[in-house]
Every structure is written in structure tokens, then in C-alpha cells.
Amino acid sequence: MAQREARLMQVLVNVDVSNLDQGIAFYCRALGLHLTRRLFQGSVAELRGAGVRLYLIEQANGSGATPAGCRRDYREHWTPVHLDFVVDDLDAAVRRAIEAGAVAQPAQHAAWGSLVTLRDPFGHGVCLVSFNGAPPYEVGAT
């Protein structure tokens, strides 16, 4: 019996934003992504250019986020899930992000490279990472 080739699982990244046009402008300008299409009567934007499809979903501030009654809040917040964008020129990437509306923390430097944490205009944490050689998760990989 012939074995089926395993299908690679896809990862889709979804980010809630209170203003879709502002979200598109930020992620395209700050990170070099590009809008590929709008979905669901224009309430969702698909962006590409980072190895995954990124979907911005317009959701009003204060709208229900869970059946248990949690409400969306776009003030600065922390979440255990965030986006890391690997860039070649960290200084240029940080400059673009700030010009597009991000708030940046000072760069952190380590033997593997450098990292800058950002807050997008909707309070989401986003990191810009620049590696010195192979990313740490590839070192020693077989």
C-alpha cells in the first residue's frame, strides 16, 4: 500500500485591530508586508510577505472577545503569543516601524544577535530580530 505524503500544516496568524485601514497601513509600512485581499465584506485583510499569511480582523474596542464575556481592549497589553519578524537591517526596520506608528523599546543585544520589542498602534507586542549567523533555534539542528 502506498503511503500518503504528509501534508504540511499551515499556520495563519490573526491579529485583531480596531481600525482595519490603519492596521493595513501599519503592517505594510512598518514591516514591508503587502495586502493581498480583503475578505468577509471587507472586515478582514490578508497580508503576505513574512512567510505566513497574516490576517488583520477589524473588531471594535470593547467588543466581546470570548463567550465568557472578555472584552477587547486595545491599550498596551501583554500576551504569551506575539509576532517576531526577522530583519536584515535592524536599525532601518525600527526606523520604519516608528515612522508607521510603533513605540519601540531600546535594542537588546546578545551573542546570537539583537532584538527590539515594539508596540503596534493597537497595543500588540511585536519584535524585530536580527541574527548574527544562524538563528539560535537552528544551531545544532540536524
Q: Give 77-98 pLDDT, tens digit per residue.
A: 777 778 889 999 999 999 999 9
Per the DSSP assignment, residues forming a β-bridge with 64 are 71
CA distance 90 to 123: 21
Architecture of domain 12-61+76-131: Roll (3.10)
Q: What would the grid cell of residue 33 be?
A: 508586508
pTM: 0.79
Domain boundaries, the chain: 12-61+76-131
Q: What does residue 136 show for φ and ψ, rounded to 5 degrees?
A: -55, -30
Q: State the residue for C-alpha cell 470593547.
A: 62
Share of residues in the chain with pLDDT > 90 (%): 60
pLDDT in tens, the chain (142 residues): 455 666 666 778 999 999 999 999 999 999 999 999 999 999 999 999 988 899 999 999 999 988 888 899 898 877 777 888 999 999 999 999 999 999 999 999 988 899 999 999 999 999 999 988 866 555 444 4
Instruction: Name the packing angle between helices 90-99 and 20-31 (round to 10°).
Output: 160
Q: What is the pLDDT of residue 123?
A: 92
Torsion over CA: 17, 23, 35, 58 (sign) = positive
pLDDT at 81: 77
Q: How far is CA 120 from the centre of its chain?
A: 9
